[in-house]
Amino acid sequence: MKFKAGYIGLYLMVISICLLLASFSPQKKGVYNSKEILNGVLESISTIKTMRYNLQCNERIKGKMQHTESQVKLQISPRKLYLSVKGPEVLWLEGANDGDALVNPGAFPYMNLNLDPYGSLMRKDQHHTIHEMGLHYLAEILKDGIRRAGDKFDRYFVILGEEKYDGRDCYKLSIAFPDYSWNSYKVSNGENITSIARKLHVSEYMILEKNSEVAWFNDVKPGQIIQVPDAYAKLTILLIDKALLLPVNNKIFDDKGLFETYEYYNLQINPPIAAEEFTKEYKDYKF
């Protein structure tokens, strides 16, 4: 077959376009940059109404990693939470029980307890309260990280590739703040460690650990100078489920090393949860 010179250029251009289109074949559908993935994650979290999942936690407590496992049922609004921690059970309902959680300790004193989620019994050796269960708290941390990164977003948020987790395909995202540091903070009237951490979007346990003169989360006074981190973490590694666009494995590092990990298994998003599953009389519970 013979081509005139003018047609050869057109033919090559068509071939180039076809090759370019082939590079966007269906098998590559869903490959995004880090900003698109983060926006997708935040959108996915905003659509969550209910969740069921198994959670494995590793949290650094007094220099050692402490492991816990729990089964969780969560309704976002009005907020209702049930969790079982290999024996103990916790039930918390928004607007009920004077804000206390109903706790079956599963051991002595072998009776249900009504406990303040912010109190010393429920917060002992815990990085977070039950109010941070689920993914909405993480969403606020991510939004703050995006704000802190500003026009350097691509420097701090980097896709490291893909990885299998719990049988599912995931994006591996690194959020790194190499200039992570501690700064002085003057406590204002009415503030405690938890409220300060929420305002700054950092970890209250990390603040408590850093300030050895502070005995507990409410043990600060107006005018007191404490040290606070300038970001939630120095490094965060997230495995983000490609189908759900939700973080299912979170590893958080501070300036001392690994600080906490949260691993989600058997994650169900927006499953039906019967109203009676948020009552102490539910047949599977032992309250």
Q: Kindly list the domain boundaries of the chain, sorted by start residue.
A: 36-180+231-278
160: closest CA among 231, 232, 240, 259? 240
Which pLDDT score, from 0 to 100, does residue 31 have?
53
Q: How large a percentage of the chain has pLDDT more than 70?
A: 89
More confident residue, 19 or 239: 239
Report the C-alpha gap between 49 and 269 in whole angstroms: 8
Which pLDDT score, from 0 to 100, does residue 109 have?
85
Q: Is pLDDT above 70 for 78? A: yes
Q: Is pLDDT above 80 for 281? A: yes
CATH number of 36-180+231-278: 2.50.20.20
Question: Is 30 in contact with 230 (CB distance < 8 Å)?
Answer: no
More confident residue, 42 or 7: 42
Residue by residue, what is the 3-state secondary structure of the chain? CCCCHHHHHHHHHHHHHHHHHHCCCHHHCCCCCHHHHHHHHHHHHHCCCEEEEEEEEEEEECCEEEEEEEEEEEECCCCEEEEECCCCEEEEECCCHHHCEEEECCCCCCCCEEECCCCHHHHCCCCCCHHHCCCHHHHHHHHHHHHHHHHHHHHHEEEEEEEEECCEEEEEEEEECCCCCEEEEECCCCCCHHHHHHHHCCCHHHHHHHCCCCCCCCCCCCCCEEEEECCCCCEEEEEEECCCCEEEEEEEEECCEEEEEEEEEEEEECCCCCHHHHCCCCCCCCC
Tokens of 62: 């007094």
Report the C-alpha gap between 202 and 233 in whole angstroms: 8
More confident residue, 206 or 11: 206
Q: Is pLDDT above 80 for 3? A: no
Report the Cα 180 to chain-centroid distance in Å: 19
Adjacency order of strands within the sheet including 235-241: 113-115, 101-104, 89-93, 80-84, 64-75, 50-61, 257-269, 246-254, 235-241, 168-176, 157-165
Which pLDDT score, from 0 to 100, does residue 108 have?
87
Report the C-alpha gap between 168 and 245 in whole angstroms: 11
Residue pLDDT, tens place only, 39-52 = 999 999 999 999 99
Q: How many CB atoms lie within 10 A of CB 45?
A: 21
Which pLDDT score, from 0 to 100, does residue 2 have?
38
Which pLDDT score, from 0 to 100, does residue 44 have?
98
Residue pLDDT, tens place only, 200-249 = 999 999 999 999 999 999 999 999 999 999 999 999 999 999 999 999 99
Q: Is pLDDT above 90 for 159? A: yes
Half-sphere exposure of 267 (CA within 13 A, CB side): 24
Q: Is pLDDT above 90 for 198? A: yes
Q: Is pLDDT above 60 for 24? A: no
Question: Is 282 in contact with 262 (CB distance < 8 Å)?
Answer: no
Which pLDDT score, from 0 to 100, does residue 86 have?
87
Q: Is pLDDT above 50 for 10? A: no
Question: Is 124 in contact with 117 (CB distance < 8 Å)?
Answer: no
Report the C-alpha gap between 88 and 106 in whole angstroms: 5
